[in-house]
Amino acid sequence: MVIVQEATFDTGTEIKHLTDRNTQIGAVVSFTGLVRDFNDGSAIQSLTLEHYPGMTEKELEKIETQALERWDLTESLIIHRYGKMDLGDPIVLVITASAHRKDAFEAAAFLMDWLKTKAPFWKLEENASGNQNWVSERSSDIDAAEEWE
Amino acid sequence: MKILYFAWLRAQLGMAEETISLPEDVNNLHDLIDWLRARSDVFYAAFSDMDVIRIAVDQEYVTENVPLKGVREIAFFPPVTGG
């Protein structure tokens, strides 16, 4: 399932919802991305995520479909937030559940690597003096995504 | 046809979206980019380096020149930085 929302989320609650009463699941892996207080050596005060409503959901669904084709997953969930976030706030959540750990581990890594380079989101950082900066893409993210090609 | 701009491109152009009637001599994506560049210095500067601009036609990524006949929505944006 794919959810794009402004509101925050709780990783623990989402894992519980996804795995509750499903006794086929033997392994659940989650990744939560948080707003950290630095980027490229500069201090950050807040982060705003802009996205492309409509295309964002489509791209995330395509990425999830890929994961479901490549790995044996019982459940999967992607939540990605947009809007203004404070330090420490969760930005993105990926949960994968499977019978055995390998599928869940690999699929979760794949989902994150692909969504970082394909889902139309953009980060705008703000520092303590109110200066804003659009985050640049990282070549390490592109390399990580290409390893799954 | 609707054109959308995101992130620094939106900020630089001072516009998130616009609806245009395609001029007769604008048949494909490359024509459209040339036409946008010719509009003003601001547009010219924003579209000067296409290596830093990604394009979606009807919400699908495109990397090649494509015909615009029947297209409803085109989006221009920087490389994505979510996650």
Q: Domain residues of chain A, as ranges?
A: 2-146
Chain B closest-CA separation from residue A85 CA (Å): 13
Query: B12: how many CB neighbours lie within 10 A of its CB?
Result: 14
Sequence-separated (6 or more) residues with CB below 8 Å from residue B5: B13, B15, B16, B17, B75, B76, B77
pLDDT tens-digit series, residues A70-127: 999 999 999 999 999 999 999 999 999 999 999 999 999 999 999 999 999 999 999 9
Closest-CA residue of chain A to B82 = A121
State which residue of chain A sits closest to B79, comparing Cα positions: A137
DSSP B71: -
Q: What is the ipTM of this complex?
A: 0.95
B58 — contact with chain A (CB < 8 Å)? Answer: no
Q: Which residues of A touch B53 (CB under 8 A)?
A: none
**Is A2-146 assigned to CATH 3.90.1170.40?**
yes
Tell the CATH superfamily of the B2-77 domain: Beta-grasp domain (3.10.20.30)
Q: Which residue in the set B11, B77, B81 is minimally distant from A135, CB to CB?
A: B81
pLDDT at B15: 97
Residue A55: closest C-alpha in chain B: B59
**Averages of pLDDT over each 10 residues, chain B, 83 residues:** 98 97 94 97 97 97 96 98 96
State how far residue A72 is from chain B, nearest Cα, in angstroms. Answer: 23
Q: Cβ of A33 and B83 within 8 Å?
A: yes
Contacts (Cβ under 8 Å, ≥6 apart) of A60 = A2, A4, A78, A80, A115, A119
